[in-house]
Amino acid sequence: MLKAKVGIYANLFLKTLRLEGEKRLLEASEERYRLMIEAAQEIIAGIDNQGTITSLNLSFERLTGHRCADWIGKSFLPLLEPADATEFLLRPG
């Protein structure tokens, strides 16, 4: 009985170590991705299915003069030229 319990705890310990290693790898990957997005010279935006801005990189501030924080959670349509916004709204699907 004791041997079975020790085996279970040893297995849990190994799984915990493996998960912690995977977590560190994921965090490192996320940091590399974040740095890459922030270093980009072009505007990179995340927009959800409703057209709401979910994220912006710092190039948005450099190129538009608008603060990122002021646009997160708002529609991206006002940022488009009127003709582009109209074309976007008229697209099917």
- % of the chain at pLDDT higher than 90: 62
What is the mean predicted confidence (pLDDT) over 5-13? Answer: 92
Q: Distance from CA of residue 92 to its chain's centroid?
A: 27
Query: Quick one: pLDDT band at residue 83, thresholds 50, 70, 90?
Result: confident
**Backbone phi, then psi, for 60, in 5-degree steps?**
-60, -45
Which segments of the chain does DSSP mark as H helices, in order?
2-39, 59-64, 68-71, 82-90
What is the mean predicted confidence (pLDDT) over 34-55? Answer: 90
CA distance 33 to 76: 23
Q: For residue 38, what pLDDT is reported?
A: 83
